[in-house]
Amino acid sequence: MKDGGRCTERVLLLEVSMISVKGVINGLRLFILVGSMIGAAACSTISVNTSAKYNPKFDYTRLKTFNWMPKSETTGNLQQTAVAAEVGQMIESEVEKELEARGFKKLTDGIPDFYLNYHAYVQTKVEPQVVTYSCGRGICGQGMELNQIKEGTLILDFIQADNKDVVWQGTAVGVVGDPSKRKAIIETAVRQLLSMFPPK
């Protein structure tokens, strides 16, 4: 599989929970107030990193019709164990919409040119960050903050129908956690992923 590169929208982030390791009380209070304001503003943006791998020898022009891989043939059943049914429906609906907008047709009867399968999961990550506390007229001190974020990963497979080989695989990674932005995050992830298919 060849690496298809990365597509990044560089804006961060969501409001995160912060654990103070060190700091001056007044400066800490000011930092939390400002930090909350910045976090709230950043919540209006969505950041998703995407990448793709593919078989450079495969003729992608022959792919016209698609359908989802039958549940009995999915690997690991991550669709059922790691993703809520509502999120799964959002992913499938958005993938189908984007593919059909690009000229592909969903085939519900018979064998399509390729099958789709996805895996999705969420993990909590802790990221240290050095911060400076301001008292308003200067620097009061520095400390370390531990930012806890929820990072979601979506992996989308394009599978050759006749031999079940994965000919293209896209991965999207982004910060999740705000239910009100769930649909927008999925739309962004799928749109960026499929902008790299077929590979050029």
pLDDT tens for the chain, residues 1 to 200 = 666 654 333 222 222 222 333 333 333 232 222 332 233 333 447 889 999 999 999 999 999 999 999 876 665 444 444 457 788 899 999 999 999 999 999 998 999 999 999 998 888 888 787 777 666 666 567 777 788 888 999 999 999 999 999 999 999 999 887 888 889 999 999 999 999 999 98
Phi-psi region of 5 (alpha: psi -120 to 50; beta: other; left: phi over 0): left
Instruction: Please give the backbone phi and psi of residue 54, each rounded to the nearest 5 degrees, phi first.
Output: -155, 165
Contact 192, 170 (CB under 8 A): no
pLDDT of residue 196: 96
Task: Residue 20: count other Cβ atoms within 10 Å of its Cβ.
Answer: 15
- Of the candidates 174, 143, 155, 10, the one whose C-alpha atom is nearest the C-alpha of residue 79 is 155
**CA–centroid distance for 42 within its chain:** 17
Structure token digits, residue 177: 């956690």
Instruction: Report the distance separating Cα 80 and Cα 60, nearest Å.
Output: 29
- Signed CA dihedral, 80, 82, 85, 90: sign only: negative
pLDDT of residue 179: 83
Residue type, 118: Y
pTM of the shown model: 0.69
The domain ranges of the chain are 2-194
CATH classification of 2-194, choosing from 3.30.160.670, 3.10.20.440, 3.40.640.10, 1.20.960.40?
Answer: 3.30.160.670
- Give the relative orientation of helices 85-101 and 182-194 as an angle to the nearest 10 degrees: 40
Instruction: Report the distance separating Cα 148 and Cα 102, nearest Å.
Output: 38
pLDDT of residue 114: 97
CA distances, 157 to each of 13, 61, 115, 193 (Å): 27, 17, 8, 11
pLDDT of residue 149: 85
Instruction: Report the distance separating Cα 104 and Cα 90, nearest Å.
Output: 19
Instruction: Report the distance separating Cα 141 and Cα 27, nearest Å.
Output: 8
pLDDT of residue 51: 96
pLDDT of residue 14: 26
